[in-house]
Amino acid sequence: MVGLTTTLRGRLQASEGLETTQVWAPWVEPHVPIEERPVGVPVLVTVEYRIDLQQAPSFLKAMRDLQRIRLRDGAIRGGIYIDPLEPERYVETFVLGSWEEHLRQHERMTLTDRRIEERVRAFHIGERPPVATHLIYATETWVREMQQSRSEHATDWGVHEHLPHDIES
C-alpha cells in the first residue's frame, strides 16, 4: 500500500506543470488520391532531419522525449536512425496500426507535446522543414485499389511535399 501511494504521488508530481490542452498538430494531410483510404493496414511515417554534428547528442535526447509522445499517442514502435555516409542526416521512423490511428495521433497532441516537437525541430539545420513521408503497408488489395485509382485520376503522384509536423510560430 505504501509503494502504491508513493508511485501515484510520484506520477502526479511528474505531471505537474504540463499543459494538457489538446491542439491539432498543424500539418498538411498526406495526399492519398483514392476515395477510400486503407482500413486496418499499418502506416510507416518517416521524418528526415539534418542535424549539426555538435548538436547530435542534445538532438537525440530531445528525440527520446518525442518518441515517448509517439508511443503514448498510438505508435506501435519507432526509432531514430543515422546515415553513416551522411552523418548529419537522421531519419525518425514510427509505425501506427492504421491510417485512422495516425490521424488520431495528431488529434491527441497537447501544448506540451507541441513544445517538445518544436524543441526537436529547432535542431534541424536544413534549408526547408524536415521532410515526412507516409507509407502504407502493401497488401495486394491495397495495391490493386491504388492502381485503379491512379488510372482513374490524372494525378501527378511524384510531386507531393508532406510537412506533417511543420510547426509555424
CATH of the domain at 48: 3.30.70.100
pLDDT of residue 104: 84
Does a structural domain hold residue 22?
Answer: no
51: phi then psi, degrees, rounded to nearest 5: -125, 135
Does a structural domain hold residue 158?
Answer: no
165: phi then psi, degrees, rounded to nearest 5: -120, 30
The pTM is what? 0.69
Query: Distance between CA 39 and CA 109 in Å, rounded?
Result: 22
Q: List, for residues 83-124, the tens digit of each pLDDT value.
A: 999 999 999 999 999 888 888 888 888 899 999 999 999 999
**58: which 3 cell numbers?**
542534445
Does a structural domain hold residue 14?
Answer: no
pLDDT of residue 122: 97
Quickly state the pLDDT bin for 142 (edges 50, 70, 90): confident
Can you say whether the dihedral through the CA atoms of 112, 71, 63, 107 is positive or negative? negative
> In total, how many domains does the chain have?
1
Does a structural domain hold residue 35?
Answer: no
Alpha carbon 30 to chain centroid, angstroms: 12
Does a structural domain hold residue 61?
Answer: yes
Using left for φ > 0, alpha for ψ between -120 and 50, and beta otherwise, residue 40 falls in left
> Which residue range forms the structural domain that includes residue 106?
42-152
pLDDT of residue 8: 42
Q: How many CA atoms lie within 13 A of 123 on its CB side?
A: 23
Quickly state the pLDDT bin for 78 (edges 50, 70, 90): very high
Asked if pLDDT for residue 148 goes beyond 90, the answer is no
